């Protein structure tokens, strides 16, 4: 029975809304809410000042950007004004009496163009006058183009520099976070810090800040030009303004609201997609294709609905504002005409004024629209900084030792541990292991076997009891040294993108090719590697997707075999390997284990038979211990596991 839309929305949003990519709606920085992540920053001021701190070293460039921005905006305003003297001169040519009826600014600018025209052409004819105005216009626009070019280049170099620093800091931090952090944060959520959130910051620095600043400069500049052209008309435009501002804000609010729900719907669709792609095999195995199509249809429907609303209200702001500003225009021209008749304004002045009146509301809309992007980016930045502020793995204790030539005497004394407070996973674990010994852990799924090994290399720190190596508490050994001395084959294998050779060499970076091949032979991996298309140079991708599960394990074992660590941990290292190959590996490893302390975890009891001691874990407690023979004689849990007697009862 497929789930309904409410269930789907709830399920896929909680897990997915965060890790989604950018919105579908066109260019970066386009509308409100673009950038996927929504939400308001908790402390915008603090976040902003922290972002500013990333701009350190760019002060010079930022000042240059600001200067260029002001210059380019001012040039475009001046350029627009040059129409006035041209029109006035033309009007005067037809009706000479109008030449006297100009506003102060029109007179001044007109006189200046006249002087220039005389200077260049020696004669102030109408044609020369217009040519001079064109020359000024050309020069002004040239400056505008040049400053815009310089500004956008510099701004990009600043923003990309800042983003690079943030990305680096975040990545570096991720490498220092404790394993515990990753328990509580799904991969997708962490990835979205790198993609969504950083992208949003990028959009903000590049587009929004530029728009905000140029919007503000344009607003002030336009106001100054308007006031100097005609203060009466300016008052009229300003009087109309609140109506538009209010209407615009209302529509913008609506569109923002729908953008947020569009992003949520998009998150759900993407989350569903991702899950069906990665789970494709399971879907096929259980014949769930039709349900999937049906469920996807529901989510897709929902998304179309939300997208329609979001894009409708997003797209309607511009035209509505455009049309209503025509009303201002009409009134302006009407009143302007009266002023003209009274000799307070020229035709040129009225023309450019109506231009200004029309564009007056633009920067304000621009600013109000960009605010949404800015808030989304600041909220994103907060999430990025939140990761950066997470406590890293605790620093080594004062006076932590190197323990350079570790022997491998491991003692667990009364260790009690839980991943989450109040839920103990291991209870009073005590054991002793010395070099050359092989200690095995067996027991049911979830008994706590992996947990013991997680404590050895301090993925997690214990709260009760102690773990010592060579008599030193592991918390007093430098963490790097500790991990260098414990080679582990983890229960979940992992291979990186790279050649087979590189993947094995991960175990010890200074190993020679011969040593790598030797390790591969020890792990019984050599023969299958030689059968690969490029042998040791075969590229592995996607966690070794082109290898069998067992082959992946062999490479992970080879990696550990390469390490010279005195302590070796094999957690279900050969669970997917056939028993014959496993015996081969055992043979190879025997030599390797000679002077090392080895911990082996296995469900397949034949793997652990020849261990010096076998610990039987049950619900976090060691309930039996001894050699294979001793345990069989006890006729306890191990006996049950080994002979399968109890299960058959
Ligand atoms: N990261 C974790 N956070 C919280 N609880 C965990 C975590 N990892 C394991 N546990 C819990 O700790 C208990 C022991 O898990 P552990 O992985 O040690 O079992 P195991 O004996 O290795 O089992 P298996 O044979 O399946 O590998 C389980 O009940 C599990 O739910
Ligand atoms: Mg395990």
Tell me the pLDDT band of 300, cut-offs 50, 70 and 90.
very high
3-state secondary structure of 426: strand
Is the pLDDT at 23 greater than 50, yes or no? no
Residue 648: which pLDDT band, with cuts at 50, 70 and 90?
very low
| Mutation test residue for ligand 1: of 425, 459, 461, 488, the one with most atoms within 8 Å of CB | 425
Which position has the higher pLDDT, 34 or 546?
Answer: 546
The helix/strand/coil state of 497 is coil
Residue 38 pLDDT greater than 70, yes or no: no
* pLDDT > 50? residue 183: yes
**CA 638, CA 622: separation in Å to the nearest integer?**
11
Tell the residue number behind the tokens 């001079």, with chain if given.
Answer: 132
pLDDT at 17 over 60: no
Query: What is the per-residue pLDDT for 28?
Result: 33
Range in 7-11, 79-83, 156-160, 458-462 with the lowest mean pLDDT = 7-11
For residue 412, the model assigns a pLDDT of 95
Contact 189, 42 (CB under 8 A): no
Q: How confident is residue 437, by pLDDT bands cut at 50, 70 and 90?
A: very high
Per-residue pLDDT for 215 more than 90? no
CA dihedral of 146, 148, 151, 153, whole degrees rounded to 10: -80
Q: CB neighbours of 474 closer than 8 A, spacing ≥ 6?
A: 456, 458, 467, 468, 482
Task: Supply 154's token pair.
Answer: 């510099």
Quick one: average pLDDT of 355-382? 80
Summarize the confidence of residues 311-333 as an average pLDDT.
78
Nearest ligand 1 atom to the CA of 452 is 18
Q: 453, 572 in Cβ contact below 8 A?
A: no
Ligand 1 pocket check: which of 184, 443, 449 to mutate, most ligand atoms within 8 Å of Cβ?
449
**With 0-12 CB in 10 A as exposed, 13-18 as middle and 19+ as buried, what is 570?**
buried
In DSSP notation, 533-553 reads TTGGG-EE-TTTTTS-HHHHH
Burial class (CB in 10 A: 0-12, 13-18, 19+), 242: exposed
pLDDT digits (tens, 9 = 90+) for 117-128: 898 888 888 899
Q: Which atom of ligand 1 lies at the shortest distance from residue 491's CA?
A: 27
Dihedral of the alpha carbons of 522, 525, 526, 530, in degrees to the nearest 10: 180
Average pLDDT over residues 66-82: 89
pTM for this model (two decimals): 0.78
pLDDT(25) > 60: no
Distance in Å, CA 449 to ligand 1 centroid: 8
Within the chain, all domains assigned CATH 3.40.50.300 are found at 394-480+609-649
**pLDDT at residue 18, as a whole number:** 43
Q: What is the DSSP letter of 519?
A: H
Ligand 1 center–CA 450 separation, angstroms: 7
Q: What is the mean pLDDT of residues 430-447?
A: 93
Angle at 140 between CA 137 and CA 141, to 5 degrees: 85
**Atom number, ligand 1, closest to the C-alpha of residue 448:** 18
Tell me the C-alpha distance between 427 and 443, whole Å.
14
Rg (CA), the chain: 37
Quick: pLDDT tens for 579-595: 888 888 888 888 788 88
Whether the per-residue pLDDT at 558 is higher than 90: the answer is yes
Residue 29 above 70 pLDDT? no
CATH superfamily of 5-21+42-389: ABC transporter type 1, transmembrane domain (1.20.1560.10)
Of residues 213 and 527, more confidently modeled: 527
Give pLDDT tens digits for 509-541. 999 999 999 999 999 999 999 999 999 999 998
| Backbone angles phi and psi of 452, in degrees to 5 | -60, -45
Mean pLDDT for the stretch of residues 633-646: 83
pLDDT of residue 44: 83
- Reported as a pLDDT band with limits 50, 70 and 90, residue 13 is low
- At residue 646 the predicted structure's pLDDT band, cuts being 50, 70 and 90, is low
Stretch 475-482: mean pLDDT: 91
Per-residue pLDDT band at 15 (split at 50, 70, 90): very low
Q: Whole-number mean pLDDT of the chain?
A: 86
Judge: domain 394-480+609-649, CATH 3.40.50.300.
yes
Q: Which residues line ligand 1 (CB under 6 A)?
A: 183, 419-420, 425, 445-451, 491
Structure tokens at 547: 């290898």
Considering only CA atoms, which residue is closest to atom 3 of ligand 1?
A: 419
Q: In terms of Cα–Cα distance, which of 18, 31, 29, 25 is closest to 384?
A: 18
Looking at residue 14, its pLDDT comes to 53
Closest protein CA for atom 9 of ligand 1: 451
Of residues 154 and 1, more confidence is placed in 154
- Give ranges for CATH 1.20.1560.10 in the chain: 5-21+42-389
Q: What's the whole-number mean pLDDT along residues 489-511?
A: 91
Helix (H, G, I), strand (E, B) or coil at 297: helix
Overall average pLDDT of the 13-21 stretch: 45
Q: What SS3 state is found at 570? A: strand
Residue 39: which pLDDT band, with cuts at 50, 70 and 90? Answer: low
Q: What is the pLDDT of residue 228?
A: 87
Question: Which atom of ligand 1 is nearest to 443's Cα?
Answer: 21
Residue 27: what pLDDT?
32
């Amino acid at each position: 029975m497929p789930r309904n839309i409410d269930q789907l929305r709830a399920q896929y949003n909680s897990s997915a809304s965060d890790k989604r990519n950018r919105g579908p709606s066109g260019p970066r920085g386009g509308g409100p809410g673009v950038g996927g992540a929504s939400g308001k920053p908790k402390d915008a001021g603090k976040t902003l000042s922290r972002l500013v701190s990333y701009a350190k070293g760019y002060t010079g460039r930022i000042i240059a950007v600001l200067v260029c921005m002001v210059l380019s905006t001012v040039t475009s305003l001046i350029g627009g004004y040059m129409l006035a003297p041209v029109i006035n001169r033309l009007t005067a040519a037809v009706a000479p009496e109008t030449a006297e009826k100009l506003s102060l600014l029109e007179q001044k600018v007109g006189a200046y163009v006249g002087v220039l025209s005389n200077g260049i052409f020696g004669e102030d004819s109408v044609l020369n006058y217009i040519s001079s105005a064109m020359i000024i216009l050309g020069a002004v626009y040239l400056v505008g183009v040049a400053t815009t070019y310089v500004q956008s280049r510099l701004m990009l170099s600043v923003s990309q520099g800042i983003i690079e620093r943030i990305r680096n800091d975040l990545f570096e931090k991720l490498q220092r976070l404790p394993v515990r952090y990753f328990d509580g944060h799904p991969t997708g959520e962490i990835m979205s810090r790198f993609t969504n959130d950083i992208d949003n910051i990028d959009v903000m620095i590049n587009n929004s800040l530029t728009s905000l600043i140029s919007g503000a400069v344009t607003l002030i500049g336009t106001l100054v030009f308007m006031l100097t052209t005609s203060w009466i008309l300016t008052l009229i435009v300003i009087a109309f303004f609140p109506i538009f501002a209010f209407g615009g804000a209302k529509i913008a609010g609506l569109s923002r609201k729908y953008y947020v729900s569009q992003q949520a719907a998009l998150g759900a669709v993407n989350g569903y997609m991702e899950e069906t792609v990665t789970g494709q095999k399971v879907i096929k195995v259980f014949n769930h294709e039709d349900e999937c199509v049906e469920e996807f249809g529901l989510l897709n429907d929902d998304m179309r609905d939300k997208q329609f609303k979001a894009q409708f209200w997003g797209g309607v702001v511009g035209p509505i504002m455009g049309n209503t500003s025509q009303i201002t225009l009409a009134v302006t021209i009407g009143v302007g005409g009266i002023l003209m008749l009274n000799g307070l304004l020229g035709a040129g002045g009225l023309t450019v004024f109506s231009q200004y009146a029309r564009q007056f509301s633009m920067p304000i809309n621009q600013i109000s629209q960009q605010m949404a992007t800015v808030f989304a980016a600041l909220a994103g930045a907060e999430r990025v900084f939140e990761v950066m502020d997470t406590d890293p793995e605790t620093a080594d204790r004062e006076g932590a030792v190197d323990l350079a030539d570790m022997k491998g005497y491991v003692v667990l004394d009364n260790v009690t541990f839980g991943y989450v407070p109040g839920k103990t996973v291991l209870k009073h674990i005590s054991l002793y292991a010395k070099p050359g010994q092989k200690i095995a852990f067996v027991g049911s799924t979830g008994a706590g076997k992996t947990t013991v090994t997680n404590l050895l290399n301090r993925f997690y720190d214990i709260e009760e009891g102690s773990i010592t190596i060579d008599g030193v508490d592991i918390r007093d050994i430098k963490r790097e040294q500790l991990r260098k001395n414990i080679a582990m084959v983890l229960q979940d294998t992992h291979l990186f993108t790279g050649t087979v050779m590189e993947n094995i060499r991960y175990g010890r970076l200074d190993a020679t090719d011969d040593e790598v091949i030797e390790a591969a032979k020890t792990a019984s991996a050599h023969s299958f590697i030689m059968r690969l298309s490029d042998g040791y140079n075969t590229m592995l991708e996607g966690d070794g997707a082109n290898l069998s599960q067992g082959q992946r394990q062999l490479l992970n074992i080879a990696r550990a075999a390469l390490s010279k660590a005195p302590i070796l941990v094999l957690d279900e290292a050969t669970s997917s390997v056939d028993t014959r190959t496993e015996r081969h590996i055992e043979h190879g490893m025997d030599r390797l284990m000679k002077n090392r302390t080895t911990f082996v975890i296995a469900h397949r009891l034949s793997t652990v038979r020849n261990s010096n001691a076998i610990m039987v874990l049950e619900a976090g407690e060691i309930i039996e211990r001894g050699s294979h023979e001793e345990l069989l004689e006890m006729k306890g849990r191990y006996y049950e596991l080994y002979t399968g007697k109890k299960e058959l009862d």
